């Protein structure tokens, strides 16, 4: 399997690491939409949020713990932030490895759709 984000996790492809443990890897988005724009991804290859199930949702729970921790560390937890997971063509998802965008550090556009 040829996956860009698996390559980032393995270190084959360089990235600006924010946090790493046995389950998740977090790094700066290469094309940030806001002052804070971090991608939080599972180390196990899950294709998208449409592939979350009872067999892997423990990983997702942990990802959200890490998101809360990073938001605090970055000082955006009080002012607010957004967590986004795009799925498929209609949402503009480009990379087939589940990733949660953690976006903040400014007043965000309220248009969701």
Interacting residues toward ligand 5GP by CB under 6 A: 4, 15, 27-31, 39, 86, 92-95
Q: Rounded to the nearest whole angstrom, what is the least distance from the CB of residue 105 to Zn ion in the complex?
A: 27
Q: How would you class 28 by CB atoms within 10 Å of its CB: exposed for 0-12, middle for 13-18, buried for 19 or more?
A: middle
Q: Rounded to the nearest whole angstrom, what is the least distance from the CB of residue 83 to Zn ion in the complex?
A: 20
Choose the contact partner of 93 out of Zn ion, ligand 5GP, none; CB within 5 to 8 A by kind. Answer: ligand 5GP
Residue with tokens 């294709």: 47
Catalytic residue among 45, 62, 97, 99: 99
Number of Cα atoms under 13 Å in the Cβ half of residue 53: 4
Q: Rounded to the nearest whole angstrom, what is the least distance from the CB of residue 81 to ligand 5GP in the complex?
A: 15
Cβ 102 vs Cβ 36: under 8 Å: yes
């Amino acid at each position: 399997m040829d996956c860009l984000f698996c390559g980032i996790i393995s270190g084959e492809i360089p990235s600006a690491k924010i946090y790493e443990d046995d389950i998740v890897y977090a790094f700066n988005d290469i094309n940030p939409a806001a002052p804070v724009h971090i991608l939080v991804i599972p180390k196990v290859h899950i294709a998208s949020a449409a592939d979350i199930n009872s067999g892997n949702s423990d990983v997702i729970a942990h990802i959200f713990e890490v998101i809360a921790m990073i938001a605090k560390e970055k000082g955006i937890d009080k002012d607010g932030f957004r967590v986004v997971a795009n799925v498929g063509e209609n949402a503009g998802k480009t990379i087939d490895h589940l990733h949660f965008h953690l976006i903040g550090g400014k007043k965000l556009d309220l248009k969701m759709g």
